[in-house]
Amino acid sequence: MERCLEFKGIEKAFPGVRALQDINFRVKGGRVLALLGENGAGKSTLLKIMSGDLRADAGTITLNGREMNFSSPNDAIRAGISVIYQERQLVPAMSVAENIFPGIPPRGALGLVAGKQLKRQAQELIDKFGLSIDPAAPVGTLSVAYQQMVEIMKAYRRDSDVIAFDEPTAPLTDAEIAILFDLIRRLKEAGKIILYVSHRLSEIFQVTDEIVVLKDGRLVAEMKTSETGEQELIRAMVGRDIGDTYAGLNRNDKIGEVLLEVSHLETDVLRDVSFTLRRGEIVGFAGLVGAGRTEVARAIFGADPVSSGEIKIEGKPVRFKTPKDAIDAGVALCPEDRKEQGLVLFRSVRDNVTMPILAKVKRGLFLDNHAEDEITIDAVKRYAIKTPTVDKIVMELSGGNQQKVILGRWTSSKMTTKILILDEPTKGIDVGTKAEVYQMVCDFAGQGIGVIFISSELTEVVNISDTIVVMHGGRVTGQMTRQEATEEKVLALAMLD
Amino acid sequence: MKKIISLLLVVLMAAGLLACGGGGQNGNIETSGTETQTPDASASETAAAPPDGGADTPAVSADAPQNVGYIDDPVDHFARDTYQIAYLSPAFMFLQQSWFAAMQAFEERLNFKVTSFTGENNSDTYLTNIELIASQGYDGIIMDCEQPVAVRAYEIIEETGVPYIAFVQSLLDENGKTVCPQVVLDQYDTGKKTIDWLIANYKSYWGEIDASTLGLIDCTVTTSPDLALRAVAPEEIFKATFPEGHYFMADMAAAGGVTADAAYTQVMATVSAHPEIEHWWVTGSTEFFGSGSARVFDDLGKVDDALVCVVGAGANIVDWDSMTPDTKSSLVACLAISDLLYAAPAVSGVIALIDGRATKETLWRDKTPADWQFGTDYGVWLVENDIITRDTYKTYFEEINAKYLLSGGHTD
Amino acid sequence: MESAKGFKKFFNEKMVTLLVLLVIVVAAFTVLSKNGSYLHPANIRNIFSLMVVTSLLTLAVGCLMISGNIDLSTGANGTLCGILFALLLQGGVAWPVALIATLLIGMAIGAFNATLVNIVGFQPFIATMAVASVAKGLTYVANNAVAVPVKDPVITWIGTERFFNNLLPVTLIIAIVAFVFYTVLMGATEFGRSVYLIGGNREAARLSGIHPVKISYILFINSGMLSALAGILLAARLKSGTVTGVVNMQFSGMTAAMLGGVSFGGGSGGFGGVFIGMLIINGFNNGLTVLGVSSYWQTVASGVLLLFALTVDYLNMKRRGKRVSKRG
């Protein structure tokens, strides 16, 4: 019988928010369905309801003709639904085999026998998928990409009818993405129902058969991948014509004198990195994950120690031992991992914005809450941060607004940032806000700030930057201007050993 | 959901409070053994033997009323309201619970109610509770106070003006002199009795032995002056009687305190380190050391080579109770201090003070030994005690209970 | 666009729960006690008086917990300092000198803790526990495990004097001043805000120019100082430097902190809530004593209260944790 997953009339509301309204669609076995939508459109909620993490307020999910009623994620797993999340759900200390077949612990003297059997079964599965992984290796020693594949095999072994992927390609290199897509193709051939959630439109066109678009909790479009194009999708998701995102930007072409000079920078990861940044210039750093771009940012910012090399700001050599030194000199960093390194999630918007300027918002011995509010409100207005009050906990904001808070922190009225380093600023942000961020970056440059723009999205880097620096394995492999650059050239340099 | 849980917990606590407040006023304490029987009222007036003397008592002045503050005090306890007495101790452990139960045994006969208070191992709380007790209107206090805070406790309790006696631990001023009537043990004497008994009786177990093969492990608690005193006589007398013998001191203070396990650890270590010693004696300042030490010899298979005689009976009696006549054990004797022998004078004395028939200065003066090392300005009631053995212990407590016209299990 | 003003912030959900709990406790005991003796001024004084020493330990560990750290050596530290203080006085040292010297010793122990945690890299839980053991051992060694009497007239005056007809102990004034000071420090200054930010996300704070290591040192040294002060005040109140000292008060302090919203996870809680938490615990214990409830039940009740505090903390963390996963 052909497998079939059907959502009928799904509704879900949270206090103050109707996350899902009347969702109806169907997916058949052997198909890959893309779930598209801006952040906050309801994709995650839908996935959670499907996986048993949440209960719908109304509506039904039917799998292969049987109505599903989950009271826990375990129920969903047993019913044949597996979700591969962005966060790994593996036990790092246990082996690949043990993770694929959880719940079968080796026992005592018989342990050896059971272990061997486990390895054999795991190896069968690994071969079936055409991978090269050692089943005995502790899962924690594998790269993120391969860990993900272990999870896929785990789901496969459960004989799940439905396998859903939530932003699976974020940490992967292009080579690894290819392997992943190959895996997905095999799963398709095995007749599984595949759901694919991602922001990367190019991938949607590569690997999916059908697309469902959510917007503000409603299902607004349903089409075959082969019958649609990027523009139409974007319009459906955002409801307006973005046009050519990059062409519409208000750019600044006034590039001034040299602001930052990095010469032969060496750290434990970097080798002989050199480049310059001018006032009003946007220097983009391109490269694959692990190329060393974040390390450059952190070294300049004083967050990591520098073993040799020279950094000059406005012609004067500087040695930053702590981030505070860098901040005082006018350098600012928006870290790669917004939640882990950029924000204090349980504190308010205001507290997050004023973090570097606490010393400047004092009246006598005490913090001046009024001044803090003013500065924050100003930033919120300037960047159109969607939040009802400045007291809202940042955890409750969407990814895009969170990023704006961090940008607001470094460019608030009391800050005198000269060099702004942005590490993956549009990661996990919806298309609409991305465009806003791009414009903000151009505006900063227009004010004379030197911007370092690190991104793994090739299109982004190539189209935003004035100059592009490409890195691989801790070294700079090439530099070029925006006029010279093409995505192919940059990619070639990014993979150059 | 979480709101419901929070609400439930709050309701639970409130209910608990009501339950405690309503019924819990110490009425629910059951301890091992003592059941109060209503004594024959008339019999109590003409009651039993007068308490034992002990040391030589100084001459009592002719006009001091007889037996004031003694259990057989011939006053009519029912010609007055029920007195509310507080018993305050630093912690409420097994011993304190036993004493408290013993005090409760006299409630009906002497027309009072006793409530227990504790500092919960916190001296600050202890001192505050003194004032709390006074402000709650208790008529008298039986106070077991730790030496470190004695000076301050004395100041506080004097300020309240409530009649009190010191119990178990001597209440001394900065110069080490008593400041009020006390019901205490002659600590030195208790230790002496144990070593005397060992010396007098060891031959009936072993015959003649070579003193150089004899070792004594003396379990002490150096952080407690009272308990440390109990270990002094065994040391002195053993060394004097057996110069060739081997004396070992085992200090439980740093080894985990007053527990059987601490004794076990220390004694085991000592015995294991000296295999050349064939005969072992163990003395100690608390009952737990006896119980713990005996286990060592059980485990080492040296039951016949050891004699254990410590100060304190409770835990040892529990051990004896669990043994059949065939069971061999090195736990041969101990010094029993019946809780009744502690409680009787305590409650009688406090009642006499509350009545006003005795004052702080006059109570029990006749009982104070003339050579009492902590001063003779105030009454000192030395609690009676006797050595009991595995064979004699059962009848011993029956006799005590009979003396106080109580029946039921023994108290220890 | 406005921001929620102070009043509303103060009376958030948690504070209301605490206040309700406090009212229930007070009302219940007043009704149950003879002639409402629970609420007599002298007994109110008893309740507050017993909070003095513990509150200092609570302040010490509370600041650290907010920063995401923990200090399990406050009790041992305070006890050691109490006995050293008494020894110094006994040895003829003038009381101001003895006071400062002892506070410095407490601070040194705190600095040692900070070094173990920040430079050597031990887990604060383990490191401070180890330091506590060492301090405890030294306490026994200090005077051969015998308590040291405190006779200095100024110190004993501080420890025992009460104003206003025996109702306001001097030590209580000291504790109140300390409490107010730290509440203001943590709530309204740059330093306090930095501590909350570090507790919320240490790396994010560092990348915004805050010095977590420096602040960690300050907090540990502060904890050491407050512990020493607690030990000193206790010795003054007891007129004796004891071997058990403040050791037993350490966990009661942490219970109050947790009840008041200071989480082990760091980055939350305020001393206002902590104060109410302490009132609840002490009011509760005092009430049971007033009613003459047996000690067994008092221990049970304290245990229930601790469980309640932990549940409150857990539910609090879970609520925030749940929100995170909702965003996906």
**CB nearest C50 (choices: B20, B128, B148):** B128
- Would the CB atoms of B21 and C298 count as touching at under 8 Å? no
C239 touches chain B (CB under 8 A): yes
Average pLDDT over residues A207-212: 92
pLDDT band at A238 (very low <50, low <70, confident <90, very high): low
Query: What is the reported pTM?
Result: 0.74
Question: B39-185+339-384+394-403 maps to which CATH number?
Answer: 3.40.50.2300
Higher pLDDT, A372 or A289: A372
A308-313/A258-266 β-pairing:
antiparallel
Domain annotation covers residue C2: no
B214-220/B279-284 β-pairing:
parallel
Residue C196 contacts residue A347 (beta carbons within 8 Å): yes
Domains annotated for chain A, with CATH where assigned, are 4-238 (3.40.50.300), 258-494 (3.40.50.300)
Burial C167-184 (b: 16+ CB within 10 A, else e): ebbbbbebbbebbeebbe
Average pLDDT over residues A152-163: 85
State residue C155 phi and psi, 5-degree precision: -65, -45
Tens digit of each residue's pLDDT (9 = 90 or more) over B363-377: 888 888 888 888 888
B408 touches chain C (CB under 8 A): no
From chain C, the residues in CB contact with B20 under 8 A are 288, 291, 293, 297, 301
Helices C170-188 and C41-66, axial angle in degrees (round to 10): 40
Tell me which of A325, A345, A380, A409 to substitute to probe the interface with C (most C C-beta atoms closer than 10 Å): A345
**Amino acid B313: pLDDT:** 86
pLDDT surpasses 90 at C155: yes
**CB nearest C201 (choices: A53, A344, A350):** A344
pLDDT surpasses 70 at A64: yes
The structural domain count of chain C equals: 1
Hey, which residues 83-102 in chain B have their CB within 8 Å of chain C?
92
pLDDT surpasses 80 at C157: yes
pLDDT surpasses 70 at A189: yes
**Amino acid C104: pLDDT:** 97
- Would the CB atoms of A344 and C209 count as touching at under 8 Å? no
Higher pLDDT, A53 or A410: A410
Closest residue by Cα to residue B168 from B193, B131, B142, B129: B142
Tens digit of each residue's pLDDT (9 = 90 or more) over C170-226: 999 999 999 999 999 998 999 999 999 999 999 999 999 999 999 999 999 999 999
Tens digit of each residue's pLDDT (9 = 90 or more) over A79-96: 889 898 877 788 888 888
Question: B187-336 maps to which CATH number?
Answer: 3.40.50.2300
pLDDT band at C317 (very low <50, low <70, confident <90, very high): low
pLDDT surpasses 80 at A117: no
Tell me which of C201, C211, C215, C262 to substitute to probe the interface with A (most A C-beta atoms closer than 10 Å): C201
SS (H, E, C) C43-107: HHHHHHHHHHHHHHHHHHHHHHHHCCCCCCCHHHHHHHHHHHHHHHHHCCCCHHHHHHHHHHHHH
**CB nearest A389 (choices: C4, C194, C326):** C4
**Amino acid B30: pLDDT:** 31
* Alpha-carbon separation of residue B257 from A492, B180, C83, C105 (angstroms): 74, 29, 20, 28
Range of the domain at C290: 9-317
> What is the Cα–Cα distance from B251 to B222, expressed in whole angstroms?
6
Q: What is the pLDDT along chain B (412 residues), one digit of tens a residue?
A: 556 665 666 666 656 555 544 443 433 333 333 333 333 333 333 333 333 333 333 333 444 445 777 777 777 888 888 999 999 999 888 888 989 999 998 998 889 999 999 988 889 999 999 999 998 889 999 999 988 899 999 999 999 999 999 998 889 888 889 999 999 888 889 999 999 999 999 999 998 888 889 999 999 988 777 788 899 999 999 999 999 999 999 988 877 778 888 899 999 999 999 989 999 999 998 888 998 899 999 998 888 899 999 998 888 888 898 888 888 888 999 998 888 888 999 999 999 999 888 899 988 888 888 888 888 889 898 888 889 998 888 888 888 888 776 543 334 3
Tens digit of each residue's pLDDT (9 = 90 or more) over C102-139: 999 999 999 999 999 999 999 999 999 999 999 999 99
**Amino acid A241: pLDDT:** 47
In chain C, the residue whose alpha carbon lies closest to the alpha carbon of A338 is C204
Tens digit of each residue's pLDDT (9 = 90 or more) over A310-363: 999 999 999 999 999 999 999 999 998 888 899 998 899 999 999 999 998 988
Here the ipTM equals 0.87
pLDDT band at C5 (very low <50, low <70, confident <90, very high): very low
State residue B204 phi and psi, 5-degree precision: -70, -15
Closest approach of A105 to chain C, Cα-based (Å): 30
Closest residue by Cα to residue C306 from B9, B314, A322, A209: B9
| Mean pLDDT for chain C overall | 86
**Amino acid B214: pLDDT:** 92
Tens digit of each residue's pLDDT (9 = 90 or more) over A67-77: 888 888 888 88
Where in the sequence of chain B do the CATH 3.40.50.2300 domains occur?
39-185+339-384+394-403, 187-336
* Alpha-carbon separation of residue A139 from A150, B66, C4 (angstroms): 8, 88, 48
Domain with residue C16: its CATH number is: 1.10.3470
Domain annotation covers residue C152: yes
State residue C190 phi and psi, 5-degree precision: -60, -45
Residue A351 contacts residue C197 (beta carbons within 8 Å): yes
**CB nearest B17 (choices: C28, C244, C249):** C28
pLDDT band at C101 (very low <50, low <70, confident <90, very high): very high
**Amino acid A496: pLDDT:** 67
- Would the CB atoms of C234 and B124 count as touching at under 8 Å? yes
Q: Which H or E element spans position C136?
A: helix C124-142
Residue B215 contacts residue B281 (beta carbons within 8 Å): yes
From chain B, the residues in CB contact with C46 under 8 A are 128, 131-132, 135
- Would the CB atoms of A395 and C190 count as touching at under 8 Å? no
